[in-house]
Amino acid sequence: RGSDPDVGVFTHVDPVTHDIIVQDVTHLRKEKTGKGEVAKGGGKVTYVKGDDVLDNHGMKLKWTDFLISPDMMFVLFITDRSHQWRYSTRFNLWLYDLTTKKTVPIGGGPHYPAKTSAASWAPKGNFLAYVQDNDLYTQEPGGQPHRITKDGTRDIFNAVPDWVYEEEVFNSESVYWWSPSGTKLAYLRLDETAVSVYSFPIYNPDKWTTGLTTPYLTSTSMKYPKAGFPNPTVSAHVVDVAATPSLNLQKERLITEVTWTGADEVLLRETNRVSDRARLLRFVLSSEAILGKSVTGSVVRRDDGRTKLHLGGGWITAFQEKQPLGAMDLALQSTAYLDILPTKGGFRHLAFFANSSVEQPLFITQGEWEVDQLLHADLKRQRAYFLAASPTPSQRHVYLVGLPDITSQQTVSRYRIRPPIPLTDIHKPGWHSASFDPKGAYYILTKQGPDVPSVRVLGLDDPKFELVLQDNADLRKTLTRYVAPSNVFYTIEVGDKKDVIVSVREIRPHDFDASGQTRYPVLVNVYGGPNSQTVKSEFDLAGWHTYLATSLGYIVINIDGRGTGFRGRQYRCRVTNRLGVYETDDVVDAMREIRKLPYVDESRTGIWGWSYGGYLTSKVIQADSGMFGLGMAVAPVSKWEFYDSIYTERYMKMPSQNRAGYANSSVMISDGFRHARYLLAQGSGDDNVHFESSAHLLDILTKAQIRNFQFRMFTDSAHSISVRGAYRELHEFLIRFLVLNWGPGGLRKRSIEARMSDEERQKRDMEWVRREAAARAKEKRRASAGDL
């Protein structure tokens, strides 16, 4: 701890009183275990009493989230939060003063419905920023709100993203960034005026109560740019909190990242519309410069994704991964930063830049594996901590690596790469995440698989320090009473030259027989979208696939082929301009090898997926390979012209630039849909993959007179299909489809059956399922009674 009283300090909320408690980890260890010494200055205090936080009527405020000011004199409380899209919400904002113990609404609230869509404190002092009705405000506690922008409308978004930037670029509810000194704000302005409106009907406006469909329907209208159609216009601005004018930095193309590297320096990354060329721009911003109207940045470096691969180019992904190092201590006056970038070999690694004007990085990690996430940078100890997809892509382990000394250019020039040091056991399969104490003395390590998760606090200065926050002992004990599937991870070499590696996770029934005397149906689950991953060493006992394996006796297999992440840029970008082609080849080729396994019933193999996985499922059925007898597609894209511009054009270019690619990547009717049984399901209120994709598929299936498929629409459900009980009903629909076509799971070898009618086969299969369910229920009762 030394002289720093903030080392290892955290907050938590009493679930009964709603008191906010401040405590340090050494005191918590003493409190929970009775062991160890409390550090000097350590302890536990009630920071805010829940009974003191009252609304305008003197009633206890029902808050759900809170934000503490840097000087710890004020707390922002959030109430009445409701979701709009995937990340964006609306809420009411309240300010609590620890000195007066008074709570006041911010932004003229509370409003019903709520109007505030983003809020945060400056990193220093107690200035706050918030967005209301698409306009940006700043305010000091006790002062009046200062309206930074005044043109926010349904079409103009200031400091918050519109739908497509929220979904495909920033994955966030806000697009504004405080300078490290807390004196300036950078923000984006998005103008959707030219973007076309997409509308879909709402049959029942009540998300929870059935039977309230209205005689005349309402509708949801949203600005949604589709491939080839106008995008929102974006511009970047900076405002000095102490001054009024706003400075325009840039106004063209896509802006995909904004990073403060110092008190007065900003890096801005922009790409062209189709995301295959990028520029990193550096802006030096004095208070005098902000009084002007605009400033031109200098180009630090350019990136051309088209030249990265001899296989036909690639794309530049919209990640926001820069970590400024000098911002941690402004007295150093350093603009050094870390980023995660592909090396010449195409693998994403930690890249160090000595200052914001350096063009070429110093890579501090290397190898044929990839860094997934930068967790923490510690200047004091000269370390960077990161999460890596290593030693295999299906795992996540925590590592540390030494940092160059940013105060000495000589040290930087003499830096030598050393192998990173693992903080987790890389000799055992694992999937981890970690959160670090800002002071760098402790970290919370969460093990998320493959076995029962656990959470521990570990010491970095004191390696012997360990505090178990959650070991899930009760869950471990409960699991001994139940059966569970087993997971096997392996790879398959596919392609004409067997030079493509495909990752596989096989989920096997608890009573699995590998001898070949029992033959199992195999259901392949895919997602397959660019840079995605489904083959993970995560704990997933309560998932639907666990049910299929343990209750129905099916084998479920996840497959990650070309286009997916964490095998390098060449593997990932092979699908450029040809979505659905190589992914289909890899799934089909992998299944061809899987069908050779002695325990696989070749007559009962299928595939299913959701969203991009539903699209890939449909393309696999279209391929008519004979490898799959059924396919289940949930909320699939059927034509890329129907999907949003930024995502689609990143991988496919504009339709006018790649007409043949768009045509080949569409789902087309072939004899595959006659030879396999097909299921299609989607929610009518899907704001992401619009229902027109399913409507189009139904139209071309009808034209081709294909009738051996099942379809179900889930009224008003969005992409997650969860409105009014739809999520469970969807899975019941899928289960019934599987049972009617496959019957029970593992079956002993038997002679070839005589031909049966569909009705006879369905009656037989349902009887098998009834008997199997009864037998498994008996087995579970015996296990619960301690007989096993």
* Across 406-410, 454-458, 548-552, least confident range: 406-410
- The SS3 of residue 725 is helix
* Beta-strand relationship, 555-560 and 518-525: parallel
Question: What is the structure's pLDDT at 779?
Answer: 56
The Cα–Cα gap between 41 and 32 comes to: 19
Give the chain's length: 788
How far is Cα 613 from Cα 620, in angstroms, rounded to an integer? 10
* Candidates 55, 437, 585, 686; catalytic one: 686
Q: Which residues pair with 678 in a beta bridge?
A: 631, 709
Residue 209, burial from CB neighbour count under 10 angstroms (0-12, 13-18, 19+)? exposed
Q: What is the mean pLDDT of residues 613-629?
A: 97
Q: Which residues contact 354 (CB under 8 A, 6 or more apart)?
A: 336, 362, 404, 406, 409, 412
Could you give the residue ranges of the DSSP H alpha helices within 569-689? 569-573, 582-594, 612-623, 645-652, 659-665, 672-675
Predicted local confidence at residue 755, as pLDDT: 40
pLDDT digits (tens, 9 = 90+) for 393-416: 999 999 999 998 887 766 677 788
Is 775 a residue whose pLDDT tops 90?
A: no
- Please check the confidence at residue 278 and state whether its pLDDT lies above 60: yes
pLDDT recorded at residue 293: 65
The CA–CA distances, whole Å, from 729 to 688, 718, 740 equal 21, 14, 16
Lowest mean pLDDT among 282-291, 443-452, 558-567, 747-756: 747-756
pLDDT at 42: 75
Confidence label for 757 from pLDDT (cuts 50, 70 and 90) = low
Residue 158 φ/ψ, nearest 5 degrees: -110, 120
Which position among 27, 545, 690, 719 bears the catalytic label?
Answer: 719
Which one of the listed residues 611, 625, 684, 693 is annotated catalytic?
611
Give me the residue spans of the domains in the chain: 1-48, 489-750, 757-788
- C-alpha span between 39 and 302 (Å, rounded): 50
Q: Tell me, what's the pLDDT at 126?
A: 86
Concerning whether 237 is annotated as a catalytic residue, the answer is no
Structure-token pair, residue 513: 């027989």
Does 339 participate in catalysis according to the annotation?
Answer: no
Q: Nearest 5°: phi and psi at 479?
A: -65, -25
Is the pLDDT at 139 greater than 60? The verdict is yes
SS3 readout for 122-162 = CCCCCCEEEEECCEEEEECCCCCCEECCCCCCCCEEECCCC
* 268: nearest Cα among 356, 352, 375, 358: 356
Integer Cα distance of 702 and 724 in angstroms: 29
- The answer, yes or no, to whether residue 11 has pLDDT greater than 90, is no
pLDDT over threshold 50, residue 751 = no
Average pLDDT, the chain: 89
CA 320 to chain centre: 13
Edge-first strand listing for the sheet containing 370-378: 370-378, 383-389, 397-402, 421-422
Determine whether 560 is an active site residue: no
Domain 489-750 fold: Rossmann fold (3.40.50)
Residue 310 has pLDDT above 60, yes or no: no
pLDDT for residue 721 is more than 90: yes
**Each residue of 238-272: pLDDT tens digit?**
998 776 556 676 555 899 999 999 888 999 999 99
State mean pLDDT over 664-684. 97
